[in-house]
Amino acid sequence: MPPLFSSATKACYRSLSLPLRLSCFVAGVMCLTQGSPVLADDPFEELQTRIAQLEQDNRELRSALSKRPDDSLVPLISELPPVPEDFEEGADKSPEDRKMESLVDGLIRRMNKQTNAAFDAQNQKISELEKKLNGLSKPPKPTGGTANFGNTGLVFTSNDGNFKTHLGGTAQLDFIAPQSVATNIITPGGAYAFQDSTNFRRLRMRADGTMYGTIDWVSEFDFAGFIQNTANPAVGLAANGLRSIGTLTNGQQGGNSINVIQPTTVWMTFKDIPVIGNLRVGNQQDWFSIEHITSARYLDFMERAPIMDTFSGPNNNGYTPGVSIFNNTPDKNAGLQLGVYKNNAYDSGYTFDLGNAFTYGGRAIWTPYYDEASEGRYLVHTAFGAEYRTYNTDLGVTQNGQNIRLRSRGDLRIDSATLTPNFADTGNFFTQDQTLIDPEIAVVWGPWTLQAEYTSSWFNGARTTQLPGGLMLHNVQMSGGYAEALYFLTGENKTYNRQTGLFGQVVPKNNVNFSQGKYGAWQVGTRYDWMDLNSGLITGGRNQNGTIGLNWFINPNIRFQFNTVFSYINNAVEPIIPGPVGSVASGTLRGSKFVGDGLILTVGTRMDISF
């Protein structure tokens, strides 16, 4: 703000006597107190205007005088009163004059301060109004977004990045051919159950993304699901509520398979929550076993090892409704994953579950070595999972007092889940609860991948049936595991998600382009796995599998898999265990599986398209 009085005006004012100064001050105050509308908003504006006018008049007068001859100034000068020779500002002033002068100067300074404050407040209001005006004049921010088709499929993203939607799916078409079965092995249900087959192993449609920047979501359904129709009137065997019904006639499974649409991952994850990190609600894979949680799009072999089929994700295909939390340390070298779920592991329903059965558990992950420079081309992963499951004890009449059955199919699926012969099978029995542990380890060293895990399970309060007269099976312990090694012939490496402790999509260095001499990524591997379902009176059987595999990655979205599996079966004929007199539970520990001791050879090919 410009000063209220110029330097020339101040000098003129100081040259006046005290009474004249006081008169000027009073005149100025009177000017400020006039009741004009303008002064009501700014009481100093008129005074400043008048002083500016006086200074302008003074400049015009000086200009006019400078244009007159020197001798013309003599009359004017002679009319001015003489200046005392001994004039000095402040000289010959009485104490009263000095006190009055001090008061006047103080008032002037106060007026200047108030004037400055008024101007500052006014300028601030003007600035705020200008900002509002600029905001109103700007066009609204576009609400559209962008679309991109990349390695993961079609992704829509809003301009602010808070909303993302990915549309994709998975189609896996299998051709399976058994090559030989040892002559001393009895095939359940006759030879027709183990022939060449072609089927869609998975046929899934998927949508996932982020909303409002803080919530991740997934909605995926499988159109290639199968269940066993327990309502078939021609079965002639008792339905017991488990996936496989009656095994009373030569060990043959009853019922027929029907196709169903199965929900897989349908959940929401609330991110960046203090302390707990992330909260997931919905149908999900419970945090147990690295091979179980890893997406089927990224599996090293056509099928997971038998511990998935028996313990991690038997009848529910690995998905269960529940609530889980997961978080990591700031350096992402360790993490904890915990959850509570409805225990549907051995039930036949995909979209519902009945009974007082729940699962409590989780998984702790630790990466003792991770090469930051190569973004995980060299790493060591370890984890330990544990679960406690309770089982439904409010059993209906048609369930024969039984609530669980463990079985293991081969490392290649001949047909739908309900028709494939089992390589090991306990038959149906009753248990109160189950405890599981699962240590795991994986090493990625450039193109090499080494991975292994072991699962052990204990069933407490096990009986042949809950009905009166059922035999006690005491504490039943069963286990299985696998170890595998893979190598990229073309130099790629597996990618690792440090938040979840899981492996992900393989991106070839060169996509297939025959005209340019590019042939994608090639990976070879081998796996050994085993399963032991014998415990006490339960003779579910033992089997071991050796797999040789070749994976050809055309690009990040298409691959072909070729597996050859050598399966060694060691299954004795189950003893007939008597049940309650007159009950259909008699003899139900007989499963539907290969019986005998020998080798089974199977080959398979898969076309896998995933976006």
The model's pLDDT over 377-412, given as tens digits with 9 standing for 90+, comes to: 999 999 999 999 999 888 765 467 788 889 888 899
110-114, 127-131, 395-399, 409-413: the lowest-pLDDT one: 395-399
Record the tokens describing residue 397, joined without a space: 């009449």
More confident residue, 375 or 41: 375
Q: Which of 97-101, 334-338, 475-479, 555-559 has the lowest mean pLDDT?
A: 97-101
What SS3 string covers 1-53? CCCCCCHHHHHHHHHCCHHHHHHHHHHHHHHHCCCCHHHHHCCCHHHHHHHHH
Closest C-alpha to 479, from 463, 455, 502, 500: 455
- Backbone φ and ψ of 471, nearest 5°: -85, 140
CB 194 within 8 A of CB 182: no
Strands 215-229 and 197-211: antiparallel
DSSP conformation class of 248? -
Return the pLDDT at 317: 85
pLDDT score, position 311: 95
- Cα(325)–Cα(75) distance, rounded to whole angstroms? 102
Of residues 550 and 135, more confidently modeled: 550
pLDDT in tens, 229-267: 554 444 444 443 344 444 444 444 445 566 778 899 999
Does residue 536 register a pLDDT over 90? Answer: no
How far apart CA 601 and CA 412 sit, in angstroms, is: 10
Using the predicted structure, report yes or no on whether residue 606 has a pLDDT greater than 70: yes
The CA distance from 602 to 531, in Å, is 18
Mean per-residue pLDDT over the chain, rounded = 80
For 200-216, the pLDDT digits (tens) are 999 999 999 999 999 99
Q: Is the dihedral of CA 111, 114, 118, 120 positive or negative?
A: positive
pTM of the entire structure? 0.73
The answer to which of 69-78, 264-273, 281-290, 485-494 has the lowest mean pLDDT is 69-78
The C-alpha atoms of residue 156 and residue 167 are separated, in whole angstroms, by 9
Instruction: Give residue 245's pLDDT.
Output: 43
Q: Got the DSSP string for 426-443?
A: EEEEB-SEEEEEEEEEEE
CA 287 to chain centre: 14
CA diameter of the chain: 149
d(CA 169, CA 506): 16
pLDDT, one tens digit per residue, over 437-471 is 999 999 999 999 999 999 999 999 898 888 888 88
pLDDT tens for residues 553-597? 999 999 999 999 999 998 877 666 655 544 445 555 666 788 889
Contact 475, 460 (CB under 8 A): yes
3-state secondary structure string across 282-312: EEECCCCCHHHHCCHHHCCCCCCCHHHHHHH
Is the pLDDT confidence value at 224 over 70?
A: yes
Gap between the Cα atoms of 106 and 111, Å rounded = 9
Residues 6 or more apart whose CB falls under 8 angstroms from that of 9 comprise 51, 54, 55
The listed CATH number (3.30.300.30, 1.10.10.10, 3.10.20.30, 2.40.160.10) that belongs to domain 163-610: 2.40.160.10
Bridge partners, 593 (sequence order): 422
CA separation for the pair 208, 570 (Å, rounded): 44
Mean predicted confidence (pLDDT) in 466-487: 91
Instruction: Report residue 142's pLDDT band, with 50, 70 and 90 as the boundaries.
Output: low
Enumerate the CATH 2.40.160.10 domain ranges in the chain, comma separated.
163-610
Higher pLDDT, 418 or 238: 418
* 94-103: long-range pairs with CB below 8 Å, 24+: 97/18, 100/18, 100/22, 101/18, 101/21
Quick one: pLDDT at residue 419? 65
Q: What is the pLDDT of residue 577?
A: 62
Are 251 and 188 a contacting pair, CB within 8 Å?
Answer: yes
Is the per-residue pLDDT at 43 higher than 60? no
pLDDT at 565: 97
* Higher-scoring residue by pLDDT: 147, 482: 482
d(Cα 571, Cα 526) in Å, to the nearest integer? Answer: 25
pLDDT the model gives residue 542: 92
Residue 9 has pLDDT above 60, yes or no: no
